[in-house]
Each structure stands twice: as C-alpha cells, then as structure tokens.
Structure 1
C-alpha cells in the first residue's frame, strides 16, 4: 500500500512536532501564561497605586474616576479609548512575537544538523521519504506551523489580558464590557494577525533558507557558521568600505543582505529593512495611533526586496535539499 506525498508530509510535520514539542508548543504556552498573569497583576497594582476610585477632590468631596469616565461630556474621549483598546489589544502579546523569532531561528539552526549528529538520518533515509519532503516539512514548521501556534497563543493571551483589564475597570465602576463587545476591532484583531502570516513567510524565507542550508552543511559549530560568518563579513565590509571610500555600498550590503539574512525570522522585520513603510512615525503624536499595521505590512509585498529575498531563500532551501542528499556523515 503506497502512501501519498500529502500523507507523508503530514506525518513528517507530526514527527517534527513530537520531537520539538517543548520548543514549539510548551514554550509559547508558558510565555503566554506568564504574560497574562504578570499583565493582570500589573494592571491591578497600577490601579491600586493611582487610587482609581478617587480622581480629584471638589469642595472636600472625592470624585471617582467612574463618574468622570461615564460623564456625557467625556463620551468622545471614552469612545476613542475603547476604539484604541479594541483595535490594538492583540498587540499586547508582543513578547510572544519576539519569542517567535528566536524559536524559528534556533529550530532551523538545528533542524538538519541534529539528524546527522544523532545518526537518526540513517533511519529516515531507510524510509520511503525523500530529502525534498524532509527539508520542506522542516521549512513548513518554521514558516507556517510555528507561527500559527504562536499567533493562536498570542490571541488567547491578549484576549485574557483585555478581559482582565475590563474586569478591573468594572470593579471600579467604569463600564466598558458592553461597548467593547460592539466594536468590530475586537473580532477583527485576531483575523488581522493571522492575515499577516503570508507576509511573514515571504520576509522570513531568506533567514530560514540560510539557516537550513548551514544546518545541512556544517559538521559542527552550526551557530558559529550561521551567525559568525555573516558578522565577520559585516566587520570586513566596514573596514574595506573605509579604505576604499565605499561606505554607502558597504552599508547597503550590511542592511539589505547581512541583516536580513540574520533577522528575517523576527515578525515585523520588514519595517526594519524598509522604514519608509511607516512615514507616520516621524510625525509622532496622535497620528501614530492611526498606523495601519495590516495595510502597511501587505504593501511591503509590492517592494522588489520582498520577492528577491524570497527567491534567495527558496534557492538556499533547494541547496539544503541537495546538501542533505550528499552530506551524510560517515
């Protein structure tokens, strides 16, 4: 009975999840729980320190924050506050997004090297599974499965933090539950996060391809080869640029090639390499709250740099497949 390529890929992805359960599943879950607990405690502590029940004193009488927040004259500010919270609460889990960059980086770094180091490559080569399928399954974990797990954890953690904030406010007489529930941003926030997954995949391809290629090639000290060589090249470019008066060209290679090769797994890295995507940042003030992260991120796919980097990443993944085929130790 033959197994279809799709079924083989499913089992290969499951194998990766089984072998890296601690990194891919438990680490985001623990970070999400810690983030939720610390965020809730911080909210409660902040409200306790600022004495939320007393906003100001008029003629010797205390006026609570709830009276001001619920006053008709404060309706516009209240609506703006609720809109801002509903539209941006999903980003409360920013530490999880940062963790995603490190998880994907170190997973790719060891993905193909560990198979050769513990000799399990001999077992997998004895199965009817090609090197193409094996490497693509690891790339799928890095580009799709791990981000989906982290995004799901981030959505749950952000929602728990939002509910904790709203509960504390309700306990202090500031009623926001009803109005929050009517805001479209409350429901669109998670969808926007998952909608950025294709953007993340394309911008992460150069780093994922580079790490998988080095992991497939290096016999030892994979981290030094993957990180040390680009950093050494960056130092040499600085030195050579000073000598040859080519600082502009050296800086371009550092920012567009070396930095992107090493930092591509960080969510939102396209803002680092293409700062023009956020012209509003230079204005500061209230305009910063109007930044459309979803729209700006998708607009980055109109830049040649996104597709050139993705093509380079795909080429390095193909090189990793070829290297795995011929680089077996012993």
Structure 2
C-alpha cells in the first residue's frame, strides 16, 4: 500500500487540529455575529445619516464606514488572540492530557504534526477571519440597502460611501502580510508549548518582558519594548498603512505594495527565526514525555 502524499497528510492533520480546537473557527464567528447584530440595530440612524450625506456632510460618511471597520477590527483581534492561546497550548496540552501517546502511535511524523499546528495560526486563522468579515459586512450592506430603499432614499448614496471593494481587496492582502510578519511569534509560542510543563504563557512572555522592564528602570529607555511592539503589532502597519509607516491608512488599491514588504530584511530575518523555532519544537516533541 503506497504512502499518502504529504499534502494529504498535512490536510488531515490540520482538520484534526480544527476538530480538537473548535474555538479557532467559532470565536471569530461569534464575535462577528455579535458585531453584526449591533451594526444592524444601529441602522435606525441610517436614513438620517444618508440624508445628511446627500446634503454634503462628510462626517456622516466617515461614521458610515466606521461600523464596517469596527466589525473587521473586532473579528481580526479575536482571531489573533485565539491563535495565540492555541499556539501556546497546542503541544503542551497533548502532553498534559496524555493524548501525545495516542497521536504518536499514528503514522504521522513529529515534523508533520508541528507544521500542521503552525498552519492553524498562520494559514487557517487569516482565512477564517476574512471569511467571517466578508460574510458579516455583506449582510450589513444588504440590510442597509433594504433600509435605504424602504425609506425612499437612492441606494447609490449608500453604495458610494460604503465602498467595500477596496476593503475586500486590501483585507486579504493585509492578513497575509500580518501572518508572515508574525510567523516568528507563533513559532516561538509553539516552541514554548513544546518545552514548558506549566503556564506556557509566562515562559513565552518572561524572556522579553523582564529585560524590557529592567531596561526601562535602569536606563529609562525602551529599545527592547519597541522591538517587541514592532514584531507583535508592526504587521498591522506593514499591511494596512501607506508605506508601512502607520501614518495614513490604505484607502485605495494602488497603495498596496507587496514588493516593498517582501524586500524588508526584518521579514526574512523573522522567517529565519521562525524556522529555527519550529525545528526546535519538532525536536522537543520527538523527545518529550507526557507531563
């Protein structure tokens, strides 16, 4: 009997992770649903806002798009938090509940197991995040259009100021860039999860938080803290702001610059550290026993 292709093994390994950790799928969907309900309830103010727009009020146009942006931000942050907690517990949890012994009995290598776990925050979470945001915003737009027509207002006024085309193009690009930028962060979390016997979140944060605090107390500087913040949140600036400077948000597709992002040494240095961390996590899983 021939062995399964590695792509198929990886696919089913990721499916297994999602089956065991349904919060990866459910949490963004729940937050998206809650934000959607709030947005739909707020449409009682929509007719007045649209009439103001017809009269030339730019302020109401900004407020109109704010609900769509808030929806996207809420789901995005939820996805990142879930991905972080998943990564911190992915390898430590299977030792704690001794399911490690069962999974090791299957014909799936430690390398494939760790890579499938890395694929959850780096691939699955961005896909789920975009799917939830797209579906929720589309429902918001359909409902808002119905409210607009019911109040005798041309839907063209709504569609002009709720132009989601750019957002739906920039968002997946931004999610990909952010995942690439944060690859070493999630790889570090998996490494700590493979090593720590208890409270992996403390072991993951302490090596960076303690030096940052000591630097601030001793030298009144924040170089370490700035480095941590850049690696944790810098992906947002790279993905969603013009030239990655966090000074002006991207508002048209022409401002998207993937080549500029890919040319940054920090990105490739992050890939190098991510590869080292994942290799160490694979090595540890091969040798670790249940807690």
The TM-score range, normalised by the shorter chain, is: 0.7 to 0.9
**Residue 95 of structure 2: which of 93, 116, 129 is its match?**
116
Is 1:252 matched with 2:223?
A: yes
Is 1:25 matched with 2:25?
A: yes
Alignment match, 2:262 = 301
User: Which SS does the other structure have where 2:182 is aligned?
Assistant: helix
CA distance in 2, matches of 1:112, 1:207: 15
**Residue 148 of structure 1: which of 110, 124, 127 is its match?**
127
Alignment match, 1:61 = none
CA distance in 2, matches of 1:279, 1:7: 40
How many Å apart are 1:260 and its aligned residue?
4.6
CA distance in 2, matches of 1:84, 1:38: 14
How many Å apart are 1:29 and its aligned residue?
1.5
Gaps of 5+ in 1: 56-64, 282-287
How many Å apart are 1:144 and its aligned residue?
0.4
Alignment match, 1:314 = 275
How many Å apart are 1:25 and its aligned residue?
1.6
Is 1:11 matched with 2:12?
A: yes
Alignment match, 2:187 = 209
Residues 267 and 92 of structure 1: is their aligned pair in 2 closer, same or farther, counting only changes over 3 Å? farther
How big is the alpha-carbon RMSD for the aligned residues of Structure 1 and Structure 2?
Answer: 3.7
User: Which SS does the other structure have where 2:289 is aligned?
Assistant: coil
Deviations 1:185-221 (A, max 9, x none): 5445424322334312211112101100100000111
How many Å apart are 1:145 and its aligned residue?
0.9
Is 1:241 matched with 2:211?
A: no
Residues 235 and 69 of structure 1: is their aligned pair in 2 closer, same or farther, counting only changes over 3 Å? closer
CA distance in 2, matches of 1:289, 1:301: 18
Q: Is the 8 A contact 2:178 2:239 kept in 1?
A: no
Deviations 1:55-79 (A, max 9, x none): 9xxxxxxxxx75x766xxx6xx599
CA distance in 1, matches of 2:192, 2:155: 52
Q: TM-score, normalised by structure 1?
A: 0.75
How many Å apart are 1:178 and its aligned residue?
8.6
Question: For the pair shown, which has the larger CA radius of gyration, 1 or 2?
Answer: 1
CA distance in 1, matches of 2:68, 2:140: 8
The 5 Å alignment of 1:167-316 reads 167-177=146-156, 180=159, 186-187=164-165, 189-242=167-220, 247=221, 251-256=222-227, 258-260=228-230, 263=232, 268=236, 270=238, 277-278=244-245, 280-281=247-248, 290=251, 295=256, 299-316=260-277
Residues 293 and 148 of structure 1: is their aligned pair in 2 closer, same or farther, counting only changes over 3 Å? farther
Gaps of 5+ in 2: none
Alignment match, 2:114 = 135
